[in-house]
Chain A
Amino acid sequence: MNVTRGFAGRPRVRNDGLPPGQYDARDDWPVLSAEVTPELAASEWTFTVDGLVAEERTWTWDEAHALPPSAYEGDIHCVTSWSKFGVRFAGVSLDAFLDLARPAAEATHAVAYSHTGYTTNLPLADLTGGRAWIVWEYGDEPLPAEHGGPARLIVPHLYFWKSAKWIAGIRLLDHDEPGFWEQNGYHHRGDPWEEQRYSGD
């Protein structure tokens, strides 16, 4: 592309943690959900693993909190170009839930679905091996409702629309099924380091 006349841009900071096309949002944490923020009490929240599993399982708030705690400390990247460094989310590794439900051998993909009906699709391999969590704390505080509280999925190595807010469940499938944004032109996988923003990227 051509140089834009007279465009200097902000001062360059070398930041190896910043994927291509992203900028550091610093203290900002934009909210970009497309739906009305639900009024969902912790006592009403449940999390289910279903589809191609040996045993479909549903956890209440208290049952989920009885699983071994696990936290993510690192960076998150939004497709709208902001990244946020050094965040901490605490909850339970998704592996702990999947291990109890026991995915079938033929399960290759998953759809994460929210209590609002929001959906997003992921390869199962992106959800296992300590790379995905169900979280209810941000910093040391309860996760705010507009950021997905009482509990959300986080899959921080992918663009953050994959990290479904108000998570209700994970359905395991033997094929890929596009979720909400994926049906609206966004990339099926969303790897920020490959800049997979839109279909065809």
Chain B
Amino acid sequence: MSDAPAGPAPATRFAVPGRIAVSNRAAGTWQRATLTEIRRETPHAATFRFAVPAWAGHLPGQHLMLRLRAEDGYVAQRHYSIASPPDDEGHVELTLDHVDGGEVSGWFHTVAKPGDEVELRGPLSGFFAWPGDRPALLIGAGSGVVPLMSMIRHHRARNLTVPLRLLVSARGPEELIYASEYGAETTTVFTRSAPEGVAVGRVAAAHVARLLADPPEGGWEAYVCGSNGFAEHASRLLVAAGQPVDRIRIERFG
């Protein structure tokens, strides 16, 4: 069938395009980043602020790669979502869980102090980016809220009027990252413990139905971020509630 159109693939339900063009030069260059501030978010998570003078800028939802080097030359590198909004020029913030036995997150939580230097490359991948253009539903659990918070902060910093809603799940109020920053756009769900009078349970169809209610013209873009188990659960609920499969972007931590 050499006379057939040689398109990359047949038209299918999932043709989720990247939201932006990615700068290959920025992605390819390791840059020095200086830790300037550490803010505790929860007993297990803290925010690390870096000065990155040559940072090319990013969009909410993008991630970067970070590396640490030991004296014998051993290098450990990890991908992390960016928490800060694009307008925080020359700086990026990451919010990291202290992973049990994690060699990189362990260093950040037990050794790192302002003035330390690490290396970064990025921003990486346009797939999960949200430029602030289309109405968006954000669903995150645990540290999965990090790239979504970059979107919320961007929305506020720019006084955007495009609809934005966040559903965030945490084990309990003390484990809720960015607890003081949420506004009317946010619904919180607590899975293990909650203040008196607040329900305990996982994200359910009723939450998602409320999230999808009163859709804007042209519908929603949905962004889901968290563990694979959470992402599977939340994305199934979205599909069941009628959100088109090709308008659900998923970032799974692993």
A residues near B, CB below 8 A? 1-10, 12, 21, 23, 28, 30-38, 50-53, 56, 80-82, 104, 111, 113-119, 121, 146, 168-169, 171, 173-174, 177, 179-181, 183-186, 197-201
Contact = CB atoms under 8 A, between A and B. Distances in A.
18 contacts: A3-B70, A6-B112, A9-B76, A30-B252, A31-B254, A32-B254, A34-B16, A34-B249, A36-B248, A111-B9, A113-B9, A116-B12, A117-B13, A146-B232, A174-B6, A185-B27, A197-B65, A200-B28
A1 B8 contact: no
A119 B9 contact: yes
A52 B5 CA distance: 10
Contacts of B192: none
B242 interface: no
A10 B238 CA distance: 39
Contacts of A35: 14, 16, 245, 248, 250
Contacts of A23: 76
Interface in B1-44: 1-2, 4, 6, 8-18, 22, 24-25, 27-28, 30, 32
Interface residues of B, number: 63
Interface of B: 1-2, 4, 6, 8-18, 22, 24-25, 27-28, 30, 32, 65, 67-72, 74-79, 103, 107, 111-112, 116-119, 121, 124-128, 228, 232, 235-236, 238-239, 245-246, 248-252, 254
B4 A116 contact: no
Given A171-B6, A185-B24, A1 B67 contact: yes
A27 B74 CA distance: 23
Given A31-B228, A80-B254, A169-B9, 10 more contacts: A1-B69, A7-B69, A10-B76, A21-B77, A30-B254, A81-B79, A111-B8, A113-B10, A116-B245, A171-B8
Contacts of B249: 34
A33 B250 contact: yes
Given A30-B252, A35-B248, A184-B127, A115 B12 contact: yes
B67 to A, nearest CB: 7
A116 B13 contact: yes
Q: Which of A9, A104, A168, A181 counts the most chain B CB atoms within 10 A?
A: A9
